[in-house]
Amino acid sequence: MVTFEKAPPDVRELLSKPIRDLGLKLEGSSVERFVHQLYRELEQKGLKKFRPLVYLSDEWGCPSEEPVIGIPFYLADPKLQKLEREMNDLEDSRQIMMYMRHEAGHAFNYAYQLYKTPEWHDLFGSFRKPYRENYKPIPFSRGFVRHMEGWYAQKHPDEDFAETFAVWMTPRSNWRKRYEGWGAMQKLKYMDRIGRKLGHVEPLRPQGNTDLTVEEMEDTVEQFYQNHAVDARDGNELLLDNDLKDIFNVSSRKRKGVRPAVDFLRENRKVITDKLTYWTGVQRPLIKNLLEAIEKRLTDLNLKAEISSEKQYLTELTVFCTAMAMNYLSRGKFVQS
């Protein structure tokens, strides 16, 4: 069960309210500017006729074969942003635009029905390939671009195209130089050519059907987080004491130039979470839970960190967590008993 002890007091009053009754609107919200930025970037890439509808929904997404973009409802309200930051880590401006460009790739594919063409099939694979949530990527494969966290382009041909579109579209991505010599370059050149070809062409499907809209979300805010929680119990059952003592091996008698190791971790938790999620592909809530479990043990063991050695701690702790994350990908657990 999800707990809300860390939720700010001014946010807790929202927990019992149905989301559809919160009066959330994209127009006038702080997230609306990202929609306008997306449209400007489409214009700058020469896509004059493609403007996908963007709406508030339960998560980032583009319903299959529908050229529309859903963005999470919590981004439209400052109090809900506070709650999301405590529950799952809130997306920053860079991440929001990364997701926007990725979902725009899906919408572009559907708007012009590229997935039905032989060339698209030859480059990316079968659009009808089964969609698996738990996929085993080939790390560092040069056959796929890298845009979103993990090795997301390898998840499905549709995701491969969306990631390729996003890289092609991102301002100053310098994709021709970055992907020189990669197998993925063939896909990027296809995207560049098809973008130029369709720049002034009306989409075959200019309008799409939305999935769940914020006006249709009957769950309360609390129910939403309960229903969308990732099972992250594994992090709470780790036996890390000896490993953490090896990393933070400061004598308990030492007093000068020393501070609690948990303070060091809290200061660096966001950047460690971001990088672990990006490079390993393990879901953010699982990584966050892992680091919270480590925080608890650092506190319980009263471990210390030498201020002069914090660069070394950051390196060692990141490598340590990466090893556990890769273990999770291959075996389904951070640590095998």
- Does position 290 have pLDDT exceeding 60, yes or no? yes
Give SS3 for 331.
helix
Instruction: Pick the last residue of a domain from 155, 184, 215.
Output: 215
Q: What is the DSSP letter of 229?
A: -
Residue type, 302: N
The pLDDT value given to residue 337? 55
Global pTM? 0.85
- Does position 138 have pLDDT exceeding 90, yes or no? no
Phi, psi of 91 (to 5 degrees): -65, 140
- Does position 9 have pLDDT exceeding 90, yes or no? no
132 and 158 belong to one structural domain: yes
64 and 118 belong to one structural domain: yes
Number of domains in the chain: 2
Is 1 a member of any domain? no
Instruction: Pick the last residue of a domain from 154, 189, 215.
Output: 215
Is 226 a member of any domain? no
Distance in angstroms (rounded) separating the CA atoms of residues 195 and 161: 13
Distance in angstroms (rounded) separating the CA atoms of residues 314 and 316: 6
- Does position 26 have pLDDT exceeding 50, yes or no? yes
pLDDT in tens, 109-124: 999 999 999 999 999 9
89 and 190 belong to one structural domain: yes
174 and 246 belong to one structural domain: no
Instruction: Pick the last residue of a domain from 215, 245, 278.
Output: 215
Is 223 a member of any domain? no
Distance in angstroms (rounded) separating the CA atoms of residues 234 and 172: 40
Is 94 a member of any domain? yes
The pLDDT value given to residue 165? 98
Distance in angstroms (rounded) separating the CA atoms of residues 239 and 301: 12
Give SS3 for 196.
helix
Do the beta carbons of residue 188 and residue 167 sit within 8 Å?
yes
Please provide the average confidence, as pLDDT, over all residues in the chain: 90
- Does position 233 have pLDDT exceeding 80, yes or no? no
The pLDDT value given to residue 158? 97
171 and 137 belong to one structural domain: yes
Is 195 a member of any domain? yes
pLDDT in tens, 176-225: 999 999 999 999 999 999 999 999 999 999 999 999 999 999 999 999 98
pLDDT in tens, 250-281: 875 566 889 999 999 999 998 999 899 889 88
Is 62 a member of any domain? yes
113 and 171 belong to one structural domain: yes
Distance in angstroms (rounded) separating the CA atoms of residues 188 and 165: 8
84 and 199 belong to one structural domain: yes
Q: Where are the alpha helices (DSSP H) in the chain?
A: 9-12, 32-44, 78-87, 93-111, 118-124, 157-169, 175-178, 185-198, 221-227, 241-247, 261-280, 284-301, 310-331
178 and 63 belong to one structural domain: yes
320 and 284 belong to one structural domain: yes
The pLDDT value given to residue 236? 46
134 and 265 belong to one structural domain: no
Sign of torsion, CA 239 240 242 245?
Answer: negative
195 and 56 belong to one structural domain: yes
Domain interval for residue 255: 232-331
20 and 60 belong to one structural domain: yes
Is 97 a member of any domain? yes
Residue 150 pLDDT class (50, 70, 90 cuts): confident
Instruction: Give CA 313 to chain center in angstroms.
Output: 26
Is 222 a member of any domain? no
